[in-house]
Amino acid sequence: MRRILLTICYDGTRYCGWQVQKNGLSVQSVVQSCLESVVGQLPNGICGCSRTDSGVHANRYCLHFDIQNPIGCKNIVNALNSRLPLDISALDAFEVDADFHARYSCKSKTYIYKIYNSPTRNPFKENYCLRITNDIDIDLINKGCQAFVGTHDFKAFCSAHSAVKTTTRTIYQCYAVLYLIPNNIKLMILQLI
């Protein structure tokens, strides 16, 4: 049996999130279906590095799966990209040790939040940024970001019936950068690592 680490990226606009759910189309169900058409049945399915909410996008999302098929990793990526919808793409694949786990072997995650500052809506940004109309004080935001840095218990952010074993997480960096884009619109990127 071979364990494969696959990295993908996706636009989550039309999905109910990563994890398979009864109430809608998930990224996991689409990727697994396309992957099975390439490599055959996946005895343990696919396992992702984390869950994402409805409408959330991923620049580099890692997942693993087990196969007996001798197909090369590059061929998995190429064949998968010929089957995936345009809003999901396979980036690369590698054979990894049998004890590798996409979720538990992960060392860190980076979250990026995009906020654009404009009095009017922009249809090209609506699915990718939060729009606010008030002025952005980048110095004040960066000062507030420092409250997130360190080890904290995020239990208050979990659902009532969450099965996670620990809600304590460490945030290594949190900062915001402000860009001026055409038409005097400000775009703020908030990053948590």
Task: Judge whether 53 counts as a catalytic residue.
Answer: yes
Residue 136, Cβ density class (10 Å: 0-12 exposed, 13-18 middle, ≥19 buried): middle
Q: Is 173 helix (H, G, I), strand (E, B) or coil?
A: coil
Cα–Cα distance, 193 to 170 (Å, whole number): 9
> For the chain, what percentages of helix, strand and coil (3-state, to nearest 5) are there?
20, 35, 45
- Smallest CA-to-CA distance from 39 within 89, 91, 4 is with 4
Q: Which helix (H) or strand (E) holds 33?
A: helix 27-39
Question: Which one-letter amino acid corresponds to residue 47?
Answer: C
Strand partners, 168: 153
- Smallest CA-to-CA distance from 4 within 120, 101, 104, 131 is with 101
Cα–Cα distance, 171 to 118 (Å, whole number): 30
Q: Give the active site residues.
A: 53
